Amino acid sequence: MPIDFSKYGPVTGFDEMISAKGNPRLMARQLCRYFSGLNDDEIEELKRASDLAIKSLGISFTVYSEGSNIDRAWPMDLIPRVISSKEWEVTAEGLKQRLTALNLFINDLYNKQEIIKEGIFPRDVLAGSQNYRPQCEGITPPYGVWAHICGSDLVRDGDGTQYVLEDNLRVPSGVSYMLENRHVMKRVFPELFEDIDIMPVDDYTTQLFEMLAALSPRRNESPEVVVLTPGIYNSAYFEHSYLAQQMGAELVQGSDLLVDADDFVYMKTIYGLKRVDVIYRRIDDDFLDPEVFRKDSALGVSGLLRAWRKGHVGIANAPGAGVADDKVVYAFVPEIIRYYLNQEPIIPNVPTYLCMRDEDRDYVLAHLDELVVKPANESGGYGLLLGPYATKKQLKTFAKLIRENPRNYIAQPTLNLSTVPTLVEDGRVAPRHVDLRPFTLQSKKLYSTMGGLSRVALPEGSLVVNSSQGGGSKDTWVVDVGGGK
């Protein structure tokens, strides 16, 4: 039986591709016509082709469960998410604006701290930061950029308004899945890419390499760029190896590198030592250099911070960039944009309550069952409270945590996240909640990717999009309205 979008639903909020009357929105019409012409057998055959492509490409992610690591095939839905190019232009400008301001903010914090002196950003928020690194004080990296790669999570609420939900500035992950989703879709639906003008994403790794190469201290030579991974047991190891391979960079672990007496970084090879110019690190600050951070770290490189401070090696993202990857700092980003750029934010924040403020904390504690409560430095959907779905015991536990450490918690309204058509059991199409993680690059100049990783909550009614907690993904198509080439 062909898919009938007129019977799609029920939609309880804003659907990005189907109107309230059940009609495909303009940018999605050509895609919906295609899927409407498929019968059950054809849909099943396409699903098998997709699964085979994912398996043959080796696209996987790791789930940590009860002390064991389980590699699972990457969950990808066949129906892409469609965004109009006109809408994307605004989003891209908003992402560039945000990353520019955040880098100015980070550089200010580690140097003059003018934003604190002028009373825009509270000193006690910085004092309570888990990711502020005093070892980085007095440093200004090349171009004043600390966060070279930012993965911002974007959502739409029930009326279609787009918000930034959070900024990921430490070691943001997921871009390899954005690229691999596109590879799978091109294999399964080659005819759609001939008929629809879809913005390409293939040059992301070229842009990534160019961004990294611009950080090299040796300007007149071909830079040696490496990807520093914690190793095969890391949940994002697939991405580390994939990006290294696509960029033509070496994939290394801490034991493969050393810092010599003159504070230059070298890579051990079968031909001897080779100088390293730029490190794309996928290791948290704590484990990066046992000389200055965690002494027991076997993942990092002793002396690496000395080499970086002297300008002998570029590191992306820079040590200390995570000071802005804090959900309490997030609440101040609109003011940060106004302060450094004298502009209004193009993409707004979700309204946020800071539990460190007495008035906000009183409101949060009185309305815990209505709000989403998040710890300041967790990621991946861990450690949060979804108030409307929480048990009395969970609500009581979080009330205690908030009272004991109010600086560590924020709260936000429970958004009715936008939905997109998703293939579910029995070949049906149903609305499922979705978010978007675009990746923005900055070093000598700004780059913005063409779309991003769309993550979808596969269980009905779920708001949790993380793959480690039952979520899936979609290819993200930015298309010209009108759809045809």
Whether 405 maps to a domain, the answer reads: yes
pLDDT digits (tens, 9 = 90+) for 406-445: 999 999 999 889 999 998 877 788 999 999 999 999 999 9
* DSSP structure string for 102-140: HHHHHHHHTTT-HHHHTTSS-HHHHHT-SS--GGGTT--
CA distance 38 to 239: 33
Question: Domain range spanning residue 370?
Answer: 353-413
**Cβ(264)–Cβ(301) below 8 Å:** no
Is the pLDDT reported for residue 7 higher than 70? Answer: yes
Whether 395 maps to a domain, the answer reads: yes
Tell me, what CATH number does 382's domain have?
Answer: 3.30.1490.270
pLDDT at 483 (0 to 100): 43
pLDDT digits (tens, 9 = 90+) for 125-174: 999 999 999 999 999 999 999 999 999 999 999 899 999 999 999 989 99
Whether 91 maps to a domain, the answer reads: no
Whether 360 maps to a domain, the answer reads: yes
- Nearest alpha carbon to residue 42 among 427, 465, 339, 432: 427
pLDDT digits (tens, 9 = 90+) for 370-382: 999 999 877 656 6
Alpha helices in 347-464 (DSSP H): 358-366, 392-404
Whether 141 maps to a domain, the answer reads: no
Residue keyed to tokens 């914690």: 230
Whether 445 maps to a domain, the answer reads: no
Whether 312 maps to a domain, the answer reads: no
pLDDT digits (tens, 9 = 90+) for 33-59: 999 888 888 888 988 888 888 887 777
Is the pLDDT reported for residue 212 higher than 50? Answer: yes
pLDDT category at 70 given cuts 50, 70, 90 is low
pLDDT at 191 (0 to 100): 93
pLDDT category at 485 given cuts 50, 70, 90 is very low
- Nearest alpha carbon to residue 299 among 309, 308, 286: 286
Cα four-point dihedral sign 100, 434, 380, 414: positive
pLDDT digits (tens, 9 = 90+) for 214-228: 999 998 778 999 999
Tokens of 396: 């009581």
Q: How many domains does the chain divide into?
A: 1
Whether 397 maps to a domain, the answer reads: yes
